[in-house]
A = this chain, B = another copy of it.
Amino acid sequence: MDEFTLINRYFARQAPHRRDVVVGIGDDAALCQIPAGMSLVATTDMLVEAVHFPAATEAAAVGHKALAVNLSDLAAMGADPAWFTLALAVPDADEAWLEGFSRGLFALADRCDCELIGGDTVRGPRVVAVQAMGLVPEGQGLRRAGASVGDRIYVSGTLGDAALGLAVAQGEIEAGVPQAQYLRGRLDRPEPRLELGRALRGLASAAIDVSDGLVADLGHLLSASGVGARVRLQQLPLSSAYRELHASVGWDAALSGGDDYELCFSVPEDRVAQLENVAADLPCAIHCIGEIVPRPGMCIEDVDGREYQPATSGHDHFRNDT
């Protein structure tokens, strides 16, 4: 199979399906129209086999996740997904892998109305780089900066599941079959919180997606906003699978585990009623976990009001390099 056959078979689809795509796949570059009054939002994330996903990961899950982690960044900005490009290195033209990968990728892309408009397929170690582009009304993009003292801090969904899913997959902890399946699904198929991000336009004072763990990512939001936070441990939302393991694994997966792709955001007190109103219509739950305080840094309080120190503070690829 040559490169063009590969692209035609697995990545080029019929005509562009979004009306704003003037030129899609098949030219030197894509050409898209931006509606008046909208700003462009752009982000990129790269997944490397054996670093970001175990080599045995189902190809469809890799396709899903490569796009999902990018859409999660768009969600954190309050943007609607529009288009994406895909740079893919694969060691060989393994048709079963490519079929699964493109199936997982396009299932999410179609559901989110995000169109593949360009790509590059090369031979190399398995590496997937997606760049996603979205649109947000001018002036309404969410930022990490903007949280003010007194704002409430929320997170979507549940925390720490993906880290536990990885620990189960690596045999570091044991879980029952349904719990293990649930946790592995949270690791392999994160759901970008796009409806929530959209609903937070004009409501949240600051937002970030939780990809490196709550402590690290809320920390970025606090630094960018020049404030601190008080977080209550017992208010961290945990899945029932996590709660069953809680006695043995403790809080650290929820505080510092990566790959959750939930949103963490701050909302001023006077918009909380409005938030609770829109939250009822969202596909994911949101939970208040604390509030913004003047003193920089993060104070995590346990059930007795004492400060809790998490063991680690998030994932970092280069921490151990000199």
Residues of A within 8 A of B (CB): 1-6, 22-23, 26-34, 36, 38-46, 48, 51-52, 73-74, 76-77, 79, 83, 85-89, 92-93, 117-125, 127, 129, 131-134, 136, 138, 141, 143-144, 207-209, 224, 316-319, 321-322
A-B contacts, 29 of them at CB < 8 A, read A2-B318, A2-B319, A3-B316, A5-B318, A23-B143, A27-B224, A28-B73, A28-B207, A29-B42, A29-B74, A29-B76, A31-B39, A31-B41, A32-B39, A32-B42, A33-B138, A34-B34, A40-B133, A42-B85, A42-B131, A43-B118, A44-B119, A51-B122, A85-B131, A87-B129, A93-B322, A129-B129, A131-B131, A133-B133
Q: Which residues of B contact A30 (CB under 8 A)?
A: 41-43
Would you give the shortest CB distance from A124 to chain B, in whole angstroms?
A: 3
Would you give the shortest CB distance from A276 to chain B, in whole angstroms?
A: 24
Q: Which residues of B contact A322 (CB under 8 A)?
A: 1, 93
8 closest Cβ pairs, A-B complex: A48-B124, A129-B129, A29-B43, A46-B87, A93-B321, A28-B76, A131-B131, A87-B129
Tell me the number of copies of this protein. 2
Q: Which residues of B contact A119 (CB under 8 A)?
A: 44
A129 lies within 8 A of B44 (CB): yes
Asked whether A317 and B52 contact (CB < 8 A) given A44-B131, A87-B129, the answer is: no
Would you give the shortest CB distance from A34 to chain B, in whole angstroms?
A: 4
Q: Which residues of B contact A2 (CB under 8 A)?
A: 316, 318-319
Would you give the shortest CB distance from A196 to chain B, in whole angstroms?
A: 13
Q: Which residues of B contact A48 (CB under 8 A)?
A: 89, 122-125, 127
Asked whether A117 and B318 contact (CB < 8 A) given A122-B52, A124-B125, the answer is: no
Q: Which residues of B contact A129 (CB under 8 A)?
A: 44, 46, 87, 120, 127, 129, 131
Q: Which residues of B contact A85 (CB under 8 A)?
A: 42-44, 131
Q: Which residues of B contact A133 (CB under 8 A)?
A: 40, 42, 133
